[in-house]
């Protein structure tokens, strides 16, 4: 009986240590188009993944959505930060003007057409040009999901972050001061995410 208990404790300890180190020593590439919103969200995702898993994360900036998704198709990116408007234009899907409905449709279409998985939305953010608000989310490839099974749980901790008062203060501060990494680290610490 004593041996069985000791074996069980050792097995659980080994399993937990394997899960906690599941991403350590690996490299992930995140793609964004050149916007303040995507840059901030990518920095948050990057820092959170790095702090929580030890995975190195590189952020790659693209001129447009088509080039970014082409890089995903080539296997050069494992994650993209996108909004529903960009993704719907890329897939030539008309908007229903209902954000949640559009998100659900995109989730289905991207999974079927490109093997991509939309995670929990970060929330709505106003575009820099002021032309409306769009729903942003992280999108990951199936291969990343296979190789980093804990990743969605980590990234989903940022679900709804754009509705947070502190996040909106950070956006304004970054636009005026331009110190993205420091502002992101301060916010993640304040939220006890790192």
One digit per residue, the tens of pLDDT, for the chain of length 194 reads 555 444 434 343 434 433 433 444 588 999 999 888 898 999 999 999 999 999 999 999 999 999 999 999 999 999 999 998 889 988 999 988 888 899 999 999 999 999 999 999 999 887 766 677 889 999 999 999 999 999 999 999 999 998 878 888 887 777 666 678 888 888 899 889 99
CATH class, domain 28-190, is: alpha beta
State the DSSP string of the chain: -HHHHHHHHHHHHHHHHHHHTTTTT-EEEEEEES-HHHHHHHHHHHHHHHHHH--EEEEEEESSHHHHHHHHHTTS-SEEEEEHHHHHHHTT----S-HHHHHHHHHHHHHHHH-EEE-S--EEEE-TT-S-EEEEEEEEEHHHHHH-TTHHHHHGGGTTGGGSHHHHHHHHHHHHH--HHHHHHHHHHHTT--
Query: Can you give the pTM of this predicted structure?
Result: 0.81
pLDDT in tens, 169-179: 887 777 666 67
Per-residue pLDDT at 8: 39
What is the domain partition of the chain in residue ranges?
28-190
User: Which pLDDT value is given to residue 24?
Assistant: 47
């Amino acid at each position: 009986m004593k041996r069985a208990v000791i074996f069980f404790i050792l097995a659980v300890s080994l399993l937990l240590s394997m899960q906690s180190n599941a991403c350590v020593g690996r490299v992930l590439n995140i793609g964004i188009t050149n916007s303040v919103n995507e840059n901030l969200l990518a920095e948050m995702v990057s820092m959170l993944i790095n702090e929580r898993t030890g995975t190195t994360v590189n952020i790659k900036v693209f001129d447009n959505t088509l080039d970014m998704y082409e890089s995903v198709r080539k296997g050069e990116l494992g994650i993209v930060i996108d909004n529903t408007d960009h993704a719907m234009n890329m897939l030539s899907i008309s908007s229903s003007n209902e954000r949640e409905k559009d998100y659900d449709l995109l989730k289905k279409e991207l999974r079927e057409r490109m093997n991509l998985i939309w995670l929990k939305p970060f929330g709505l953010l106003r575009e820099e040009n002021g032309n409306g608000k769009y729903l942003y989310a992280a999108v990951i490839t199936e291969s990343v999901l296979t190789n980093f099974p804990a990743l969605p749980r980590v990234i989903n901790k940022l679900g709804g972050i754009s509705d947070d008062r502190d996040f909106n203060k950070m956006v304004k501060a970054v636009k005026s001061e331009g110190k993205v990494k420091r502002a992101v680290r301060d916010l993640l610490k304040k939220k006890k995410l790192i």
